[in-house]
Amino acid sequence: MTVKACVFDVFGTVVDWRTSVARESAPYLARHGVNATPLGFADAWRRRYQPAMEECRSGRRPWTRLDVLHRENLDGLLRDLGSDPAKIGEAELAEWNNAWRKLDPWPEAVAGLTRLKRNYIIAPLSNGNIALMTAMAKRAGIPWDAILGAEVAQAYKPQPEAYLRTAEVLMIRPDELCLVAAHNGDLAAARKAGLKTAFVTRPTEHGDDQATDLAPSQAWDWVGTDFQDLAGKMGC
Amino acid sequence: MTVKACVFDVFGTVVDWRTSVARESAPYLARHGVNATPLGFADAWRRRYQPAMEECRSGRRPWTRLDVLHRENLDGLLRDLGSDPAKIGEAELAEWNNAWRKLDPWPEAVAGLTRLKRNYIIAPLSNGNIALMTAMAKRAGIPWDAILGAEVAQAYKPQPEAYLRTAEVLMIRPDELCLVAAHNGDLAAARKAGLKTAFVTRPTEHGDDQATDLAPSQAWDWVGTDFQDLAGKMGC
């Protein structure tokens, strides 16, 4: 079993999107009197993520960058909360949408990735687009070897093409590629496509009362409590 | 004039392909008694580079990864030199072809890129494919923020799409993107597409008697003697 590259789910696995989006949204919510708490707003914005991508997966809409979907979801959410996006204005909305580029890594994530980078090519395999992932990594100091994912594959996870085309651009076999994720569903789809799999637990991604993904649902190839633990188990 | 990202030609501009390919090829040439000097072989292999890409640019052939073109060119060159690739064998040829992933940066290139990275997103805009560029950067310690170029754009320079789609995936305007290259022709195509341009001299790319690209052919936006000089001129 020779893994040559580790690719990572990012939202929830590498970075804490929920508290970061809440922090970035708080000043906008206050300034424009939007009827939501910061964490409630972050959760509501994220709830529109899967349905928006499903439009593309189903073929009803061509593949579209996540930055664009996030922005449409922001406008829609504001309208549903009784706030008119037009009154907030283009410049502020564009800046607010960049909240998704300002997500903080989990505390040990960068140190763990730095260890994994010694033995493996490391890259995101996220549904986030290249510009989003590049800006996030630059701000947070995430030491990716390359920026891969949905935009390179032109397919959104969990479509098999998202995993298979990532192996293809790296010119390795699917079983030489390992997906690292805190989500059992993502790993199940990766395994079905022939990838190796590594699970890490992120028990507060959705807050203190999180009920999902607290434990592995299958016998994944590796299981770690976090990236430091995983790095040790993967020989780094 | 606000440049947000600098993208780089790689073969010749960031790395010294000629002496590196010669060094990597020397043991194979000796072992198989190929009728060529290492530098002569490197030059001859490289001479097949543009014609091979031209097949793709012209539409006679779909876009094809440079690793694949390099390998076809290796086999063809060996045949022309009277050596049968089949006798050398698949494993050795594949490893030999990886010479292009083992190119050494010019002496000041990594230090200069590290300075430029402080103020700009830095990425390759090379005709090399993602796997090739990623492996090269990992071996040589080139600190790219992302791996862009022909494979992401699905077009080979100097086609305008190679430049324009690179700005598009970074979600910036063409005039917020600067191409850094040691080749006036590459910069001319980038300027035509609306990019900013920076020329650095690499007077020994083709050896001591190089006659081309010794000076800027147009008034490029920046001109540097090397990446350290350019970093200073670009405010880093």
Structural domains for chain A: 5-16+103-233 (3.40.50.1000), 18-101 (1.10.150.240)
Instruction: For residue B147, give the nearest of A129, A137, A146 by CB distance.
Output: A146
Encode pLDDT of B98-136 as tens digits.
Answer: 999 999 999 999 999 999 999 999 999 999 999 999 999
Q: What does each of the 236 residues of chain B score in pLDDT, given as a tens digit?
A: 699 999 999 999 999 999 999 999 999 999 999 999 999 999 999 999 999 999 999 999 999 999 999 999 999 999 999 999 999 999 999 999 999 999 999 999 999 999 999 999 999 999 999 999 999 999 999 999 999 999 999 999 999 999 999 999 999 999 999 999 999 999 999 999 999 999 999 999 999 999 999 999 999 999 999 999 999 999 99
Please name which of A34, A67, A39 lies closest in space to residue A133, comparing C-alpha atoms. A67
d(CA B157, CA A82): 49
d(CA A121, CA A84): 45
Identify from B98, B118, B130 which residue to disrupt to test chain A contact, counting A C-beta atoms within 10 A and taking the largest count: B130
Bridge partners of A224, per DSSP, are A200
Q: Which residue is associated with the tokens 């009728």?
A: B35
Q: How many residues comprise chain A?
A: 236
Q: Which residue of A has its CA nearest to B120?
A: A138
Taking an 8 Å Cβ-Cβ cutoff, which residues of chain A contact chain B? Answer: 65, 67, 121, 123, 129-131, 133-135, 137-138, 144-148, 151-152, 169-172
Work out the angle between the directed axes of helices A90-97 and A17-31 (0-180°, nearest 10): 160
Residues of A in contact with B123 (CB under 8 A): 134
Contacts of A110 (CB under 8 A, 6+ apart): A140, A141, A142, A143
Contact (Cβ atoms closer than 8 angstroms) between residue B193 and residue B165: no
Judging by DSSP bridges, how do beta strands B121-126 and B196-200 pair with one another?
unpaired
Put simply, the answer to whether B146 touches A148 (Cβ < 8 Å) is: no
* Single-letter amino acid code for the residue at A38: P
- State the smallest CA–CA distance between residue B169 and chain A in angstroms: 6
Residues of A in contact with B70 (CB under 8 A): none
Helix (H) / strand (E) element for B152: namely helix B150-153
d(CA B38, CA B41): 5
- Confidence at residue B65, expressed as pLDDT on a 0 to 100 scale: 97
d(CA A15, CA A22): 13
How many Cα atoms within 13 Å fall on the side-chain side of residue B143? 17
Q: Is this prediction's ipTM beyond 0.90?
A: yes
Give the count of beta carbons closer than 10 Å to the beta carbon of residue A24. Answer: 20
Q: Which residue of A has its CA nearest to B141?
A: A145
CA separation, residue B131 to residues A146, A174, B92, B148 (Å): 9, 14, 19, 11
Give the count of beta carbons closer than 10 Å to the beta carbon of residue A33. Answer: 8
Measured at the CA of B112, the angle between CA B109 and CA B118, to 5 degrees, comes to 140
Measured at the CA of B11, the angle between CA B9 and CA B17, to 5 degrees, comes to 160
pTM: 0.97
Q: Tell the burial category of B171 from Cβ atoms under 10 Å away from its Cβ (0-12, 13-18, 19+).
A: middle
Contact (Cβ atoms closer than 8 angstroms) between residue A146 and residue A111: no
Put simply, the answer to whether A171 touches B145 (Cβ < 8 Å) is: no
Bridge partners of A235, per DSSP, are none
In this structure, what token pair is assigned to residue A46?
A: 């994220």
Residues of A in contact with B172 (CB under 8 A): 131
Contacts of A46 (CB under 8 A, 6+ apart): A17, A18, A21
